[in-house]
Amino acid sequence: MKKAFIATILLVLCSTLVFASQVNGKWAATIETDNGPFSFTVTYKVDGEKLSGYFTSDMGDLDFTGGKISGNDFEYSFDIDGYTIKHTGKLVEGEIKIKSTGDYGDSEFTMKKVPK
C-alpha cells in the first residue's frame, strides 16, 4: 500500500515536470488590435515552478520574471508604459491558450510552438 502511494506521487510529479518542460521554448501569436494584426513571439523558460521569459515583436523585446507554473497551468505579469498586464496560460493539446487581463482590457488568444 505504501509503495503504491509513493509510486502514484512520483507519477504525478513526473507528469507535472513533463507539462512544464513542454512550455519551454519559443511560441508565436497574432492578435487583432484597433490598428490591425499584431504578431509577436514569447520565449518561455521554466525552472521548477518558476517561469520567466521575454516577448519579441517589431516594437522590440520585453522581459518578464516572477511567473509561476504548475502542471500545464501558468501565470505571469508584465508592465507596458506603467500599465500591468497579467497572462494566465494553459497548455492544451500542444497549444497555449492565454487569457490576458489588465489596464488595456481583457482578451484571449492562442499561441503555437515555433519549430526549432
| 4 pLDDT more than 60 | no
- Architecture of the CATH domain 2-113: Beta Barrel (2.40)
pLDDT tens across 11-61, in order? 344 333 344 468 999 999 999 888 999 999 999 999 999 999 999 999 999
Q: Give the start-to-end residue ranges of the domains of the chain.
A: 2-113
pTM, to two decimals: 0.79
pLDDT tens digits along 52-86: 999 999 999 999 999 999 989 999 999 988 999 99
How does DSSP assign the chain, residue by residue? -HHHHHHHHHHHHHHHHHHHHHH-EEEEEEEEETTEEEEEEEEEEEETTEEEEEEEETTEEEEEEEEEEETTEEEEEEEETTEEEEEEEEEETTEEEEEEEETT--EEEEEEEPP-
